[in-house]
Structure 1
């Protein structure tokens, strides 16, 4: 029975890791005021676009981000560029962003599933009359350590050649070549250059790592205190 208790605890840990990961992504790209303006300024993206204001570009970005989280029905966004009113995104970009939205919403859905699974596992532990205060912290330490260790290895590999693994990522998660954009005709690739993705990945990794370390630290503290009392 102790093995079952430990497995349930590890499963809870894995679910929490995914919940924290998706939450970290949301925190960086949605809950970080001024982030896009700062990145656009850093990489001087307006220089690679037909003449437009930063305010208009940020309005387009807001509409794009609303679309990705399902708060906007389509990505037909009209703005002023080069002194004329036109749609910012072309058909190819819109088709690619549909794939991106499906991926993002799928990750959000999986986070909800993980939350339900974690609560169900916790309820099952109580139902099995497990000593949750003794069983859960060590299991969380183990599960968190295993999951984070795997991610750390992946992060180390990716950091050796971000461009290469950025392409590999797209080949894995997209079944078409719509993500291959032309900077001469496609605005999307100009407003989010590779440096933007690198900065964003670094911020997500930093926040996620901090959250995981807090979870691991609390679990370790409770685990050691439980052993001391025992």
Structure 2
């Protein structure tokens, strides 16, 4: 039973770190600015840099649940208009639900991790050693999974990006027309590939640090 609880701790910790990495990248305006410049999004969307940044900031505010709708106006190809159509708005409702749900899961997971840590301290005289071992094996397992993810992304990102949508969405609203819909023009598949890589690298960095910390403590105890 003790082993199962420590495994559960490792899984919850992994989830918290992953969701944190997603938040760090997804709400980083500098990330969007770099990607917009790299893919010449001002030309693709017909918005200048000022309007593009305005729309992006409002979009991120919506995903943070700081605004209720996506009725955003901007100058597009010289004409002031509402940026997103009905299909785009409906899809972003689903996306917002994912982000809001993810933050709730992270909060609950942090509470459970705190309670488990208290349980370890009170009931397990070897809790430091066992926790270090948990960190070490959590790091090893996650690095293997990240390497597998990188390989899958490298060989066929589109396929697994589609799988992501099939798993998390129960409709086809995510299939947008790049010729007419600005949301997909702003955030093309290349953007999501680079975003996924950055999330994976941040997550890998924290996981490696965790694993090294666990290994160092365990080795010190042996010595």
CA contact (8 A) 1:11 1:118 kept: no
Residue of 44, 47, 54 corresponding to 1:48: 44
Structure 2: unaligned runs, 5 residues or longer: none
CA RMSD of aligned residues (A): 1.6
After TM superposition, the runs of 4+ consecutive aligned structure 1 residues lying more than 3 A away are none
1:138 aligns with 2:133: yes
SS in 2 for 1:176: coil
- How far is 1:227 from its partner? 2.2
Distance of 2:199 and 2:96 partners within structure 1: 18
Which residue of the partner structure matches residue 188 of structure 1?
Answer: 183
Contact conserved, 1:10 with 1:140, CA < 8 A, in 2?
no
Superposed CA offset, 1:7-64 (max 9, x none): 3222222111111111111112324x522121111101122223x3111110100000
TM-score normalised by L of structure 1: 0.90
Q: Which residue of 1 aligns with 2:57?
A: 62
Classify 1:125/1:180 alpha carbon distance in 2 versus 1 (closer, same or farther; 3 Å): same
CA distance in 2, matches of 1:108, 1:22: 8
1:201 corresponds to 2:196: yes
Q: 1:112-127 counterparts in 2 under 5 A?
A: 112-127=107-122
Which of the residues 5, 25, 31 maps onto 1:28? 25
Secondary structure, aligned partner of 1:86: strand
5+ residue gaps, structure 1:
none
Match of 2:3 among 6, 12, 21: 6
1:92 positional shift: 0.4
Query: Could you tell me how far 1:151 is from its partner in structure 2?
Result: 4.1
SS at match of 1:79: strand
CA distance in 2 between partners of 1:143 and 1:181 (Å): 38
Residues 142 and 207 of structure 2 are in contact (CA less than 8 Å); yes or no, is this contact kept in structure 1? no
TM-score (norm 2): 0.93
**Correspondence for 1:19 among 11, 16, 20:** 16
Paired residues, number:
223
Cα deviation, residue 147, structure 1: 3.8
How far apart are the structure 2 equivalents of 1:62 and 1:154?
A: 30
CA contact (8 A) 1:67 1:74 kept: yes
My pick for the range that moved more, 153-162 or 71-80, is 153-162
